[in-house]
Amino acid sequence: MESLSDCLGITDRMVEPWGPDGTDLVAGRWAGIICESVLLPLTHYDALMITFRFETLEAMTDSTSGDALFEDGAIALVHAFRDACTELSPASAFISTHPWALSRLWW
């Protein structure tokens, strides 16, 4: 997971054992946001999950800047997501703001 974190650009990393199968949880910063990431081994594929508090993202956004995304403070997250997808070439990728959608029951 640490080498994957390098590819993703996660900085200030701290690795902790997380799952019963030896899965590591990596805490750090991604696009300047404090986050946690874990690689989940699922039946047909592996899923990389990066989580962070919505309040942190909300504080970065500027609702007064109009529709121009490049003027928004959260553009760093958009660029980090794009760069991670370019580096990893996933079959699919998404950002979810609904924690229930990330439940294993929905995969």
At 71 the pLDDT is 63
Distance of alpha carbon 44 from alpha carbon 70, whole angstroms: 36
Beta strand 11-17 with 33-41 is unpaired
For the stretch 14-70, pLDDT in tens is: 888 776 677 778 888 888 888 888 877 778 887 788 888 878 777 776 666 555 556
Annotated domain spans of the chain? 2-106
Distance of alpha carbon 46 from alpha carbon 90, whole angstroms: 10
Distance of alpha carbon 76 from alpha carbon 61, whole angstroms: 11
Query: pTM of the full predicted structure?
Result: 0.67
